[in-house]
């Protein structure tokens, strides 16, 4: 059963598990189950995804229950009136805060402007030798993408040389292999923890929060990060 975070006559939001595709996609490959199908079966009616999360990304995923609401909410996203907040564990220690303004090339080879703001929340250093270093450093950040490009956060953090721990395509495969061999963990530590938007009909400001899963907590425990605000 999918965890339902918000539900009224127009909208429904779930806490999407890591590994679950939102819907069929040429770029994401095939799967046995999809969030859109599972949610339709669970509540017994059609749902329409307003946005998407990567397969390995967990967290708040918003659907509408009719096409008119979908139109209104899609406009909110397009006009950047929806605030999306993520947490991620990165390799190394980033700056305390930064705005990454770095264009990205999408799946159709079109260059698009992409902007991400992040702030560093916590740092960690553990006795895990890596290459010439006797320890390994990591940090927890909160990231707010101002644009919604494909794999934006994963690509932006790679660009600043602080890739997301566990990310394969845009991460550090040597670090990922080290974590798999040492801790038996291959979790991508990227979670959409909060979505803030105006209700399409009442205009009430709605905040939806999603807690992290056990695998994310396990990584946090190893790094001695305080993730209680997201649990």
Residues 63-121: pLDDT tens digits? 999 999 999 999 999 999 999 999 999 999 999 999 999 999 988 889 999 999 999 99
pLDDT higher than 80, residue 166? yes
- Residue 25, pLDDT score: 59
pLDDT higher than 70, residue 27? no
pLDDT higher than 90, residue 35? yes
List the end-to-end C-alpha distance of the chain, in Å, as a whole number: 19
Binning pLDDT at 50, 70 and 90, where does residue 32 land?
Answer: confident
Are the CB atoms for 154 and 169 separated by under 8 Å? yes
- Residue 178, pLDDT score: 96
pLDDT higher than 60, residue 9? yes
Binning pLDDT at 50, 70 and 90, where does residue 206 land?
Answer: very high
Query: What b-and-e string marks burial along 58-95, b requiring 16 or more CB atoms within 10 Å of the CB?
Result: bbbbbbbbeeebbebbeeeeeeeebebbbbbbbbeebe
Strands 58-64 and 190-198, how do they pair? parallel
* Average pLDDT of the residues of the chain: 94
- Residue 223, pLDDT score: 98
Q: What is the mean pLDDT of residues 217-230?
A: 98
Q: What is the mean pLDDT of residues 214-222?
A: 97
Q: How far is CA 10 from CA 48, 51, 130, 149, 207, in A?
A: 11, 15, 50, 26, 15
Binning pLDDT at 50, 70 and 90, where does residue 154 land?
Answer: very high
Q: What angle do CA 120, 123, 124 make, to 5 degrees?
A: 155
- Residue 107, pLDDT score: 81
- Partners of 124 in the beta sheet? 138
Residue 62 CA to residue 194 CA, distance in Å, equals 11
The catalytic site residues sit at 54
pLDDT higher than 90, residue 37? yes
pLDDT higher than 70, residue 31? no
Binning pLDDT at 50, 70 and 90, where does residue 23 land?
Answer: confident
- Residue 29, pLDDT score: 59
**pTM of the entire predicted model:** 0.94
- Residue 30, pLDDT score: 65
Q: Specify burial of residue 192 (Cβ count, 10 A radius: 0-12, 13-18, 19+).
A: buried
In the chain, which ranges are continuous DSSP H helix? 35-43, 67-78, 152-159, 173-183, 214-222
| Residue 118, number of CB atoms within 10 A of its CB | 27
């Amino acid at each position: 059963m999918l965890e339902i975070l918000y539900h009224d006559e127009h909208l429904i939001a779930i806490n999407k598990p890591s590994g679950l595709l939102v819907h069929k996609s040429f770029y994401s490959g095939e799967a046995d189950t999809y969030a859109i199908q599972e949610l339709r079966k669970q509540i017994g009616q059609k749902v329409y995804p307003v946005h998407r999360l990567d397969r390995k990304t967990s967290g708040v995923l918003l659907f509408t229950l009719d096409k008119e609401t979908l139109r209104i909410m899609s406009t909110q996203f397009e006009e950047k009136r929806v605030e999306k907040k993520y947490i991620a564990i990165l390799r190394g220690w980033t700056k305390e805060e930064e705005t990454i303004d770095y264009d990205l090339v999408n799946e159709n080879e079109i260059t698009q402007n992409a902007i991400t703001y992040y702030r560093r929340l916590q740092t960690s250093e553990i006795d895990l030798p890596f290459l010439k270093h006797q320890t390994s450093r990591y940090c927890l950040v909160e990231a707010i993408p101002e644009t919604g490009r494909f794999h934006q956060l994963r690509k932006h953090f790679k660009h600043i040389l602080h890739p997301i721990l566990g990310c394969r395509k845009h991460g550090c495969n040597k670090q990922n292999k080290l974590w798999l061999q040492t801790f038996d963990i291959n979790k991508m530590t990227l979670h959409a923890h909060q979505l803030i938007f105006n209700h399409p009909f009442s205009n009430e400001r709605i905040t939806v929060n999603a807690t992290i899963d056990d695998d994310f907590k396990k990584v946090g425990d190893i790094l001695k990060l305080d993730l209680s605000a997201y649990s």
